[in-house]
Chain A
């Protein structure tokens, strides 16, 4: 199953060849819910909860209409791009909630697995598609998305700032970016590398590289500086304390509970909760009036 990432993608500046080879080797295991990727499976409901909540919240803020985040159609009709979709764990869930989802991954074998798995569920085929490509390649096409998600990818890319700007450029005005990644703290090293890979061997050694971890404050800083090509407003304009304004961006810690093997979405601003895994949401400013 070892597949060398194909030529097209090697030209993409953020794709790290050895990372992609690593995930390709493991690709057969994507849908073993208790195997290599069990942490991602158990993380999925909570990532989806965060996405639903943010949609319910922004709808309420904007139109003062209360939408029930427990309704199943919250993403109905939205164009969603899942960058680094792997086996399609998140893509399938997004599609079930009504979004038109495109999942892309730099690994051809991951895309093959994702396609195969989706084909087993006849309810998915109409609004879910996968493509072996990179975000940089999509940037050359005109299509832009209401939502771009990239979960647990940032810590695996080369040149993360270029990766972030590519993702950002793929978003329509007023669109949403959802990321999840791991912070660069001693705790994160201990949990994700020392314990998960070396001591407990729950995750294949070499999956993570400490120096690639990114802190929430670095993401916030990035989006305070960042300007879209078509809009001079920063994505994050205000900070109070260390936290961005709730309507512009949000950081939420993900805490693993080994007793129930599930993840807990820590409350906003919970002390220390973002020291390891965390979710990040930021919104592209609307069109200039």
Chain B
């Protein structure tokens, strides 16, 4: 697709320009400068979702030979394609890919292109309540995963995945990649016509089907006038790559993911290698900003504390940091060391227990037998990888539809463009890959039956399969987030009771398994005409959460005599909690 103008030749000569020289296609489309270039599928966005869709379509011969496919990305994808880094450093954007996501990537030939050495399995999960310490733990074998030896999910750097997808695209040569080109506007010339995608380099692409894989602020979504509903959580996700000593021979290897539900949000420790792990710490926006401003060693101490100290001490430490920052100076490493030491003493933490952070300053010289509670919490973080600390806002966002209609016809959304989710379940990317797998299947179904891939008829099965599946996971995570953001006594009590009571229920385990992003029994529904109704783990999970609710209702029912709780859903707990607080306040005056 060489442009006559020649002003962007550097653009076209990038090694990522991949062409298909398919004679049938060439005669079907003209590429004169005055006419827009016609494509059957134009994907906007070269993030994980867009690249995966391009790969999925390009990997199917029937599609590669019949469809002209383009992918537009604003940034320079050669940087992703050429990304390389030493085995001892990890990108801070890491996602846990479920077995289902892995199977999909394997199917399209992308998993082979991902550097497996840089990925790590999650074999076990430890999830506990920051206030009551009620705990659930489970392993891949326990929940009956088909291949439990592979773990529940694999932690993979987003860049490792994206690079793998680009390598695959480079090999299959079926997708025209237009990077370093921003979508400037999208227009339509009338009902039934194909959308025109105008790029900032004056190129115009005409799309039979326009796919928005363009993230949270999706320009495709704006064009299609698809509204979305959602809310910001007033919470940021702080990410970092952490160094720590390896587990000893007496312990399990570093393949356990840890997540502690603090009232400010969950903090997660996700293993990457024997001595490195990834942090995702969701916390209130001001706390996140303060943590990010800290010296790396202070942040490392805070991370250790957040997995170990009681909530009251954490509150104290946050305040200390916030206070000193408001006075214009940062808390020093030694100040923080003393604060934490003092806190540990006041809680009578045994210096030999795993809950003590004393080893941070005095690492043991000889590896001895680890304390008996060492696997209840992650290894002690010793330092953070340089420049790996970052944060991002957390949102709940779900569009009202995945396919555009009327003026916005011939558009479809995948990935973050359609939904953004709280990261506690590590599902963001997996949902996006689920979208992509399904959309690629629907496009293939349409193509083999002579359908128009941009038509409502071709896209309807995609919405039907994905919308509620995504919605279920999203609301489950949202509920879990809200359930855990209350510190009021009765709620914590109900919550811990809930956790303990529900510990009995396998389905709740499944619900929390979502946290690890695994997916025991979900199978890909094949291209069958009935749409292959598959009961996914998410159904189980959602059912499980209802049981959490139910358990809480039961607990509430018992206590209602004392506290006068109203019956009802989660809102009722919340309301009861604020009522209780009000009552206390009234008592005071």
Contact = CB atoms under 8 A, between A and B. Distances in A.
A279 to B, nearest CB: 13
Interface in B514-566: 527, 529-531
Contact of A44 (B193, B457, B461, B464): B457
B449 A45 contact: yes
Interface string A54-96: 0000000000000001111000000000000000000011111
A92 B464 contact: no
A59 to B, nearest CB: 16
| Best-surrounded residue of A31, A45, A52 (most CB of chain B within 10 A) | A45
A96 B447 CA distance: 8
A117 B192 contact: yes
B246 to A, nearest CB: 50
B456 A260 contact: no
Given A94-B450, A123-B28, A33 B192 contact: no
Given A93-B450, A122-B38, A46 B455 contact: no
**Chain A interface residue bracket vs B:** 20 to 34
Given A71-B448, A121-B452, A260 B461 contact: yes
Contacts of A260: 461, 464, 531
A97 B450 contact: yes
Contacts of A49: 449, 529
B457 A45 contact: yes
Given A33-B456, A49-B529, A262 B461 contact: yes
Given A44-B457, A92-B450, A117-B192, A70 B62 contact: yes
A264 B533 CA distance: 14
B267 to A, nearest CB: 41
A201 to B, nearest CB: 21
Contacts of B456: 33-34, 41
Interface string B33-67: 00000100000000000000000000000100110
Contacts of B405: 34
B486 interface: no
B28 A52 contact: no
Q: Which among B450, B460, B529, B530 has the highest number of chain A CB atoms within 10 Å?
A: B450
Given A31-B192, A46-B529, A122-B38, A261 B449 contact: no
B334 to A, nearest CB: 65
Contacts of B527: 70
B451 A44 contact: yes
A120 interface: yes
Contacts of A44: 449, 451, 457
A93 B208 contact: no
A121 B453 CA distance: 12
Contacts of A264: 529-530
B317 interface: no
B426 to A, nearest CB: 30
A139 interface: no
Contact of A45 (B38, B194, B446, B530): B446
Interface string A96-107: 110000000000
Nearest to A89: B457
A94 B457 CA distance: 16
A264 B461 CA distance: 13
Contacts of B529: 46, 49, 262, 264-265
A48 B452 CA distance: 13
A262 B446 CA distance: 14
Contact of B448 (A31, A72, A95): A72
19 contacts: A33-B457, A41-B455, A41-B457, A42-B460, A44-B451, A44-B457, A45-B445, A45-B446, A48-B450, A71-B62, A72-B62, A96-B451, A97-B450, A117-B192, A121-B452, A123-B29, A257-B530, A260-B531, A262-B531
Interface of B: 28-29, 38, 62, 65-66, 192-194, 208, 405, 444-452, 455-457, 460-461, 464, 527, 529-531
Interface of A: 31, 33-34, 41-42, 44-46, 48-49, 52, 69-72, 92-97, 117, 120-123, 257, 260-262, 264-265
Question: Closest 5 interchain pairs by CB?
Answer: A93-B450, A48-B449, A96-B450, A33-B456, A97-B450
